[in-house]
Amino acid sequence: MTKLNTLKNDIPLPIRLFLGKALLFFIIWKIVYGVFLYNSGILDYPLTTHVAKASTFVLNNSGMSGFTTNRIEIGDGISSEIYHNDRLVLFVADVCNGLELMILYIGFIICMPSSFWRKVKYILIGIIIIDLINILRCSGLIYLREYFHAYFDFAHHYLFKAVVYGVTFIMWIKYSRKISLKNEAVQVG
């Protein structure tokens, strides 16, 4: 037990505060989502619908046409299907709508020390960027499924995830460049 206390004391206070806030944020989010929001249709339903409709809009307005979307019930949830000329080309499940990544991004911003309005600015801009990247990801997956099917699985499981998480990481770095620790400005990088 003394080794654990020594290890805890070796971690700088700002990092311990960040980790404590992050753990608390994670626990609260999981409880609120699991108890009140999961299958309620409050967040997942409109976000999944938005991603599917926006993806078809992007494709239909980028030189291709014939893309439509439809909501379906699967098990205990509702998801979106995207069709090209009445042929199913992509299934957008609620877990693919970007909500968890948005919450992860928001949690990081909230847990870092900064002014309220700076946090609000970065949260709003970050959510918009994550949403746009997710729409482009789905549009890209549909394009690959239709025209370069051999690359679809790799892009779905690896490439586009790396891009989405990479962009999120870059936004975190941008936000973290100027933070205030104990009334001292800290410049990172």
Using one digit for the tens of pLDDT, what is the confidence trace for 125-174? 999 999 999 999 999 999 999 889 999 999 999 999 999 999 999 999 99
86, pLDDT greater than 80: yes
Which pLDDT belongs to residue 43? 87
12, pLDDT greater than 60: yes
Residue with tokens 């918009």: 128
- DSSP-derived 3-state class of residue 127: helix
Which tokens is 116 given? 């309220």
185, pLDDT greater than 50: no
75, pLDDT greater than 80: no
Q: Which residues pair with 92 in a beta bridge?
A: 80
User: Please, what's the b/e burial string for 61-98 (b: 16 or more CB within 10 A of its CB; e: otherwise)?
Assistant: eeebeebebeeeeeeebbbbbbbbeeeebbebebebbb
pLDDT tier, 180 (very low <50, low <70, confident <90, very high otherwise) = low
Q: For residue 67, give the H/E element and its range.
A: strand 67-74
pLDDT tens for 29-38 read: 999 998 888 8
Pairwise CA distance, residues 44 & 52, whole Å: 12
Which tokens is 115 given? 């002014």
Which pLDDT belongs to residue 100? 92
pLDDT tier, 4 (very low <50, low <70, confident <90, very high otherwise) = low
CA distances from 88 to 47, 49, 96, 104, 140 (A): 20, 16, 17, 31, 15
Share of the chain above pLDDT 70, in %: 90
Q: What is the mean pLDDT of the chain?
A: 87
Residue with tokens 């608390």: 24
Which pLDDT belongs to residue 186? 45
Pairwise CA distance, residues 150 & 129, whole Å: 28
Pairwise CA distance, residues 133 & 126, whole Å: 10
* pTM (two decimals): 0.84
